[in-house]
Amino acid sequence: MNERIIGQVKRVNGPVIEASGITDAMMLELVRVGEIRLVGEVIKLAGESAIIQVYEDTTGLAPGDNIYGSGMPLSVELGPGLIGTIYDGIQRPLEDLLEISGEFIERGIRSPSLNREKKWRFVPEPLGEQSPVTPGMILGRVQETERIEHRILVPPDIEGKLLSLTAEGDYTIEEPVGLVDTNQGRKELYLMHRWPIRMLRPAKERLPLNIPLITGQRVIDTLFPVAKGGTVAIPGGFGTGKTMTQHAIAKWCDASIIVYIGCGERGNEMTDVLNEFPKLIDPRTGRSLMERTVLIANTSNMPVSAREASIYTGVTMAEYYRDQGYHVAVMADSTSRWAEALRELSGRMEEMPAEEGFPAYLPTRIAEFYERAGYMTTLSEKNGSVTIIGAVSPPGGDFSEPVTQHTKRFVRCFWGLDRQLANARHYPAISWLESYSEYLTDVTPWWEQQVGSAWQQNRAEIMELLQKEVRLQQVVKLVGPDALPDSQRFILDVCTLFKNAFLQQNAFDDIDRYSVVEKQLRMLEIILIYWHRGSQAIKRGVTLVKLRRIKVMQEIVKMKFTIPNDDLKDLDKLTARLERSMDQLESIYV
């Protein structure tokens, strides 16, 4: 990187610096400030002055310090070695920084984002000389982990004719593997390339969102599914389980790659992630979850402006793996901390505030972020997706605050967390009354084809029962449950069974922490069989007490713990025992 002096510091206002004497700078250019070379970005230009936001502590900077321009925008390095690495908000590897500066990150230190010394086994594609080279095409392959085959892509801004491509061999990311003749002259190709974090990576076509992202969490997959390439908001007050829910999805969902962004989160929460993920085993591959995970740790004690960049850093990496043909899930925890960083930076730049002090462009920034999700046909004619799941932390659990309300405008799936459920230790604490998914009609054909034709009907029926239960609970609060007839009290019983035996899920139980979709549908069918047969029995004179005492009920309550995902025949046996019990009960009253 060729640095040059482009101006001097005029005024320091926390992470925001006003610069003067600007001679040769461009908008969103990466700059280094002062003699210790603090990382910054030009965010405003006016004549010979500029506003720069700095991603490190500005203590000690003074007017007159030089500002060095790089001639390039704030970018990330994309290539082999991303998987399993822990970065900060501007893609500095934290493990390398620990070796350089100890437990506390010193200002101005640099470390390459990708290992410059490691050699990767590069297997080129069978391309001849003078072959056309198009943006995003695959040049070759590198085995990044045992599970992930890293496809080396032509950068999206390079097009021309191939002059040479190296033979199979071991190369570092700085050794050229190809040479292309472009309109701007000859350009070398490497195992890595850089891409600006605020620029959307191009794709050929957006595809319909009709394949669900399977998470293994029953309340999500069955009641409020999200499609691959979709967008989700998880709002909830402190302690309602936002991070826990995102951890569970990151651990068990069927995305190929996970990008986990801890944006302004407490250090102990990120520590849990760093300690847990290497020990957890992916149920589909039997390998460590870190072999498909990129972590961005930007904790609350790190510079506030780096939070703003961390979101874009993470989603750019996700788009890169999407362009290789992978399905990527981005966990942003939490977008409220990102919005608070925007508010602080906007205040220091003396911009006119909008509601609750947030900048007027907050909705635009939220929209720009979530619009980077999608299911795409990539430039290399592969299909890949980026699913964005963003946690929102409304102060006091107030869903009417600006970040939650604006987020709801731009996402199609809403998993609202409920304080009462969390206090009752019902996890995931996703409220079935406030949550919704607009992907239902899109993913129904997949469910009916892959799992069972009754999925939509069963889901609609149990949701209707839950709505009836809410109305009945209001009556119960006034006059007590004994005032209701058995037919209505039975609705309360079935809904309680559904909540305890289906919706509530134990993340620490080896069997219950993850449910395959076939098991989810069969469990729901058993509960609905109990509802249908029980309703008929009550009409024939069977008392509610008798229904509650059938022995098979205990097995139904415990089926989520006792029946493993790979032995669903036990669910058939359970269904048969339930049917026999109901037949015997009804035969007495015939």
How far, in Å, CA of 335 to CA of 55, rounded? 18
Tell me, yes or no, whether 330 and 237 share the same domain.
yes
Q: Smallest Cα–Cα separation from 143: which of 125, 124, 126, 121?
A: 121
523 Cβ contact list (under 8 Å, min separation 6): 218, 501, 502, 515, 559, 560, 571
Tell me, yes or no, whether 230 and 334 share the same domain.
yes
Q: Are 334 and 270 in contact (CB under 8 A)?
A: no
Counting residues of the chain whose pLDDT is more than 90, the rounded percentage is 74
Tell me, yes or no, whether 268 and 127 share the same domain.
no
Split into its structural domains, the chain has a count of: 4
How far, in Å, CA of 453 to CA of 431, rounded? 26
Confidence bin at 590 (pLDDT 50/70/90): low
Which residue, 142, 167, 191, sits at the end of a domain? 191
CA quadruple 311, 317, 319, 321: dihedral, nearest 10 = -150
Does residue 180 carry a pLDDT above 60? yes
Tell me, yes or no, whether 187 and 234 share the same domain.
no
Does residue 49 carry a pLDDT above 90? yes
Counting residues of the chain whose pLDDT is more than 70, the rounded percentage is 99
Instruction: Please check whether residue 346 lies inside any domain of the structure.
Output: yes
Q: Which domain holds residue 472?
A: 455-588
Tell me, yes or no, whether 511 and 366 share the same domain.
no
Tell me, yes or no, whether 144 and 291 share the same domain.
no
Report the run of H or E that residue 369 belongs to, with start and end: helix 362-370
How far, in Å, CA of 152 to CA of 136, rounded? 9
Q: Which CATH number belongs to the domain containing residue 56 in this structure?
A: 2.40.30.20
| The pLDDT value given to residue 29 | 93
CA quadruple 444, 445, 448, 450: dihedral, nearest 10 = -110
- For residue range 150-179, list pLDDT tens digits in order: 999 999 999 999 999 999 999 999 999 999
Q: Are 335 and 407 in contact (CB under 8 A)?
A: yes
| The pLDDT value given to residue 41 | 94
Residue 367 CA: distances (Å) to CA of 40, 216, 403, 420: 24, 28, 11, 31
- For residue range 58-70, list pLDDT tens digits in order: 988 999 999 999 9
Instruction: Please check whether residue 429 lies inside any domain of the structure.
Output: yes
Instruction: Please check whether residue 444 lies inside any domain of the structure.
Output: no
Q: Which CATH number belongs to the domain containing residue 262 in this structure?
A: 3.40.50.300
Confidence bin at 32 (pLDDT 50/70/90): very high
Q: Which CATH number belongs to the domain containing residue 132 in this structure?
A: 2.40.50.100
Confidence bin at 182 (pLDDT 50/70/90): very high
Instruction: Name the pairing type of β-strands 293-299 and 86-87.
Output: parallel
Q: What is the pTM of this model?
A: 0.94
How far, in Å, CA of 408 to CA of 430, rounded? 16
- For residue range 315-327, list pLDDT tens digits in order: 999 999 999 999 9
- For residue range 227-273, list pLDDT tens digits in order: 999 999 999 988 898 988 998 998 889 999 999 998 887 777 777 77
Neighbours of 478 (CB within 10 A): 7
Confidence bin at 48 (pLDDT 50/70/90): very high
Length of the chain: 590
| The pLDDT value given to residue 1 | 56
Which residue, 191, 225, 246, sits at the end of a domain? 191
- Write the DSSP string, 562-586: HS-TT-THHHHHHHHHHHHHHHHHH
Tell me, yes or no, whether 344 and 484 share the same domain.
no
Instruction: Please check whether residue 449 lies inside any domain of the structure.
Output: no
Tell me, yes or no, whether 209 and 180 share the same domain.
no
Residue with tokens 């509610």: 544
Instruction: Please check whether residue 107 lies inside any domain of the structure.
Output: no
How far, in Å, CA of 72 to CA of 198, rounded? 12
Report the run of H or E that residue 150 belongs to, with start and end: strand 149-153
Tell me, yes or no, whether 286 and 406 share the same domain.
yes
Instruction: Please check whether residue 88 lies inside any domain of the structure.
Output: no
Q: Are 68 and 41 in contact (CB under 8 A)?
A: no
- Write the DSSP string, 212-274: B---S-HIIIIIS--BTT-EEEEE--TTSSHHHHHHHHHHH---SEEEEEEEEE-HHHHHHHH
Q: Which CATH number belongs to the domain containing residue 526 in this structure?
A: 1.10.1140.10
- For residue range 422-458, list pLDDT tens digits in order: 999 999 999 999 999 999 999 999 999 999 899 999 9
User: What is the SS3 assignment for 28-40?
Assistant: CEEEEECCCCEEE
Instruction: Please check whether residue 84 lies inside any domain of the structure.
Output: no
Tell me, yes or no, whether 488 and 556 share the same domain.
yes
Which residue, 73, 95, 127, sits at the end of a domain? 73
Tell me, yes or no, whether 431 and 470 share the same domain.
no
Instruction: Please check whether residue 258 lies inside any domain of the structure.
Output: yes
How far, in Å, CA of 469 to CA of 273, rounded? 38
Tell me, yes or no, whether 417 and 460 share the same domain.
no
How far, in Å, CA of 150 to CA of 142, rounded? 5
